[in-house]
Amino acid sequence: MSLFFLCLPAFLPTLWAERVDTVAACPEIHIEAEHLPDLNVARCGHTTILAGNEPLVVGGHTTGFVPTPTAEYYHDGQWHLLTTVYTHDEGFAIPMRNGKVLIAGGHEQHLGIGHIFALELYDPQTHTFEGYGCLDKKRTWAECMEMDSGKVIISGNWYADDGIECYQDDRQCMNVKDVSCARTLPYIFRTGRDDAIILGGIDEHGEPYDTIVIDRLKGDAFTLPFFEQWKPLSHLLKTEHRSADSFIGDETTGQYDYLMAVSNQQGQVAIAQIHNGQFSILPTVCPIPTRSQFGAIKYFTTVIVDRQALRGYIVGNDENLKRLYVLAMDYTHNPAPLTLYYTDTLENIGLQTPILTPEGNLLIAGGFANNNFTPQSSALVLHVSANSPSTTAFSSLWLLIVMLGLVALGISAAIALRRRKKDADNHVSPVAAETAENAEIEETAKTSETADATSTYPFNDILIQRIVALMEEERMFLRNDLKVADMAEALHTSSRTVSECIKAQRGHTFTQFVNGYRIEHAKQLMQNRPDTKMITIALNSGFTNETSFFRTFKAFVGKTPSEWMSSID
């Protein structure tokens, strides 16, 4: 053991000093901004969403602050122009579970004057619009959220009365209740299957609130001490919030968690994590940077979550609207590592809330430039998925762990050699020595099992065979809420044991292992039922949504589902 204590002082202070230096500042990494073809119509005040796995921009106003009754979807490397039933300048939209997109609200006239009741649906399968209903209130700069039941909760307004209304699949919007205070672009966070909270930092005239009052869909309004120090990050460009994009929970287990950008009076920016309506600050390994090596950063979006990669993003720009920043947070770690990505200087970029593409990148299409009269037509993809989750802050710590492991191995080897020499000196027979060594190993295993009751199986063929049996015979992969803990419970072992066994025997993470079965099942469904909609294929294969299915399929197969189907015809 003397070797251990002699070696540690030589490198431990140096490594620890390196780690402290590393976490003191957020690492900055350059990323590429890929220019897609320009939009057919320069626009801002529009909504950008992922509809049927295709980017869609809808509504807004074009040059001269004139509302445009158009939309565009991106497919096969180009934007395809469509005509909407109504104009939706600074309206709102949401993709729904039934595959349709609800689009509503907006300004009635040029220059952002007036409001409209108009509501329509977009079908991404046929690329058509159907106008058939109206809101309970005329609205613009509102927010909406689909509940587990399929109802869509709508709230928020600009220079007009606010309230909470509900859209259901019966072509009607009905008033639900009044609000304690009017809000522009509020946040709506689910707190249960049929309950939600609504809050915001600015009133219907764009003025900040000193006191944040929270309305509840079912229940009375209330305040929280959290908002005495922190306020929702102000989005002066009036970019949409899309609270649904910030979801990090799990509906199947009743966990309704979100992330939200907040700031305090000193200008410090942080990320709030919301758990079933309770707010706290997400611990991070370093403060969220408001300056980079190039100057100040102004964040203009809420958190956009990539649930596949377990990362959240907020996007910012420099003071000259020439450079874009993406702050990534690996929110499942405690504290969460941060990485600041930056682009080269760019020309003619628009500021608009981006969407997460099926490949895991961020797309900004059109947007605000210097004023409302000269919107942009540019479309940029910020390549964040090519960058693996940040490990910079922990690199020295992992190096320390590895070196400690090597030291431990050296000690074990030295002890084993000393034992063998002692046995030889005492003329112990090879068989007896082996028996004694096996007994010692067995006793060590028992001790380890007692100290850490996580291991029930060794990493051998028996455990992996039982895991495979659960997948192939019981088809556990069809459960879209399947977690490693579920499999561990079925095997009467620990989650760690299952994960490490899969990694050792198959070279995959648990998620990759399960998704491999799901993809093969989806292939069979597509071959046997070629007319089935992709959303049905996705759900029947164990995926929670179509977007996750498309991204996973392409990651495994190298082609989209449609491309794969064409290749086997």
Q: Is the per-residue pLDDT at 384 higher than 60?
A: yes
Is residue 104 a contact partner of residue 118, using CB atoms and an 8 Å limit? yes
> Phi and psi of 379, rounded to 5°?
-135, 120
**Residue 481, pLDDT score:** 86
Span 112-141, average pLDDT: 94
Q: What percent of the chain lies above the pLDDT cut of 90?
A: 57
Q: What is the CATH number of the domain that holds 537?
A: 1.10.10.60
Whether this prediction's pTM lies above 0.85 is answered by no
Nearest to 414 by CA among 7, 11, 9: 7
Is 508 part of any domain? yes
Domain membership flag for residue 530: yes
pLDDT tops 90 at residue 269? yes
Count Cβ atoms within 10 A of the Cβ of residue 316 and give its class: 0-12 exposed, 13-18 middle, 19 or more buried.
buried
Which pLDDT value is given to residue 238?
55
Rounded to whole angstroms, how far apart are CA atoms 519 and 516? 5
* Residue 41 Cα distances to 47, 56, 355, angstroms: 13, 13, 19
Token pair for 406: 């090597």
**Considering Cα of 269, then 270, then 271, then 277, what sign does the dihedral take?**
negative
- Indicate the range of 23-27, 55-59, 74-78, 246-250 predicted with least confidence: 23-27
For position 542, what pLDDT does the model report? 92
Asked, for residue 487, whether it belongs to a domain, the answer is yes
Asked if 140 contacts 107 with a C-beta cutoff of 8 angstroms, the reply is: yes
DSSP states along 198-211? EE-SB-TTSPBPSS
For residue range 205-219, list pLDDT tens digits in order.
989 999 999 999 999
Residue 385 inside a domain? The answer is no
**What's the total number of domains in the chain?**
1
Cβ neighbours for 443, distance < 8 A, ≥ 6 positions apart = none
Q: Using alpha carbons, select from 323, 331, 277 the residue that is nearest to residue 300.
A: 323
Distance, CA of 107 to CA of 207 (rounded, Å): 20
pLDDT digits (tens, 9 = 90+) for 140-185: 999 999 998 899 999 999 999 999 999 987 667 999 999 999 999 9
On the question of pLDDT at 534 being above 80, the answer is yes
Type of residue numbered 249: G
Q: What average pLDDT does the segment 105-128 reach?
A: 95
- Domain with 502 in it: 453-569
Contact 214, 201 (CB under 8 A): no
- Give me the mean pLDDT over the 413-432 stretch: 46
What pLDDT score was predicted for residue 179? 97
pLDDT in tens, 337-373: 999 999 999 988 888 999 999 999 999 999 988 888 9
Peptide bond into 27 cis (omega under 30): no
Confidence of residue 499 (pLDDT cuts 50, 70, 90): confident
**Residue 276 confidence (pLDDT):** 84
- Is the separation of the CB atoms in 222 and 214 below 8 Å? yes
Nearest to 190 by CA among 251, 273, 139: 251
**Residue 547 forms part of a structural domain:** yes
pLDDT category at 480 given cuts 50, 70, 90 is confident
> Is 539 contained in some domain?
yes
The beta strands (E) that lie in 207-343 are given as 215-216, 231-232, 257-263, 269-275, 278-281, 291-292, 295-296, 298-299, 304-306, 311-317, 324-329, 338-342
Q: Is residue 140 part of a domain?
A: no
**Token digits of residue 266:** 């000193």
Q: Is residue 35 part of a domain?
A: no
Strand (E) or helix (H) holding 514: helix 510-528
